[in-house]
Structure 1
Amino acid sequence: MQGTILGFVVGSLIGAVATSVGSYVVLRRRRRAAVKRLRLAFETELAALSYVEELSEAGRYEELAASVEDPVVYETNAGEIGRLTDEEVEALVTFYTDLYWLHEQQDIEDKKERVDGIADEWRRALEAVRAAAD
């Protein structure tokens, strides 16, 4: 009788451990896949914002300020950005903060240095996301 009870207890423990390990593995895979999709989304949005660098290098500051649109991926996933590496977070937040600043500018001609810095931050953010994806 005691052997049967012990068998049930051991069997239950083995089943619980196996279920826990299996659940952990599945959860970890889902989190990795979510981070991978998040990086891909940011990389895609940053690639679409390549005009920031192009217009800045061409000195077309007024056109650049007028063409900035709200960053959909950043706004949608701001709560998830903490899943990325520290380097990615810093680069993305810095770039998007500057992008919001640029979007709100009316007279940009006297702020050319800062606009050129935004192009550098764009490049840094894109490189950080791509480096972490490797």
Structure 2
Amino acid sequence: MLETALGFVLGGVVGSITTAAGSGLLYWKREQDRTDRLRGALAAEVRTYSYLDEMIDDGQYESVTERVENPVIYAAVGDGLGRLSDDEITALVAFYADCRWLDGLEDPEDKKDRIEAVVERRQDALAELVAETD
């Protein structure tokens, strides 16, 4: 009788631990998948800004200030950025801040060096996002 009761208690404890571990692992996997999807969406959006690289490389400084697109994904997922690494967040914020600065900029010919840095920041942001995916 004592052995039966001990078996029930031990079975309940083992079952509880197994269920908790399984639930925790499933939760972790879902959160990881959610972060990976966020990272992929942001990387896709950063890739769409490749036209800035081409325009800046061609010296179209005046045109690029009129062509900067508003970010859609970055603006929509601002509260989810905390899922990313500090390096990813820093690179993304730097790039999108530069895009905001570039939009409607007056006298771009005087700011060529800073405008050319936008290309580097875009590439840095993309590299950070892709590096975390690998």
TM-score between the two structures when normalised by the length of structure 1: 0.89
* Range with greater deviation from structure 2 (78-87 or 45-54): 78-87
Return the offset for 1:114. 1.1
* Range with greater deviation from structure 2 (99-108 or 115-124): 99-108
* Range with greater deviation from structure 2 (48-57 or 6-15): 6-15
- Whether 1:85 aligns to 2:89 is no
Measure the CA separation in 2 of the matches of 1:77 and 1:37: 11
Return the offset for 1:38. 1.1
Measure the CA separation in 2 of the matches of 1:101 and 1:13: 59
- Whether 1:72 aligns to 2:72 is yes
Q: Percent identity?
A: 38
Is the CA contact 2:66–2:104 (under 8 Å) kept in the aligned structure 1?
Answer: no
Query: What residue in structure 1 maps to residue 62 of structure 2?
Result: 62
| Residue identity in the other structure for 1:102 | L
Return the offset for 1:4. 4.1
Q: Which runs of 5+ in 1 are unaligned?
A: none
TM-score between the two structures when normalised by the length of structure 2: 0.89
- Whether 1:18 aligns to 2:4 is no
Residues matched between the structures, number: 134
| Residue identity in the other structure for 1:117 | A
Return the offset for 1:2. 4.3
Measure the CA separation in 1 of the matches of 2:19 and 2:103: 51
Is the CA contact 2:65–2:103 (under 8 Å) kept in the aligned structure 1?
Answer: yes
Measure the CA separation in 2 of the matches of 1:35 and 1:50: 24
| Residue identity in the other structure for 1:94 | A
Structure 1 residue matching 2:59: 3-state secondary structure: coil
Structure 1 residue matching 2:125: 3-state secondary structure: helix
Return the offset for 1:12. 2.1
Mapping for residues 106-121 of structure 1, pairs under 5 Å: 106-121=106-121
Return the offset for 1:122. 0.6
Measure the CA separation in 1 of the matches of 2:92 and 2:112: 21
TM-align CA RMSD = 1.6
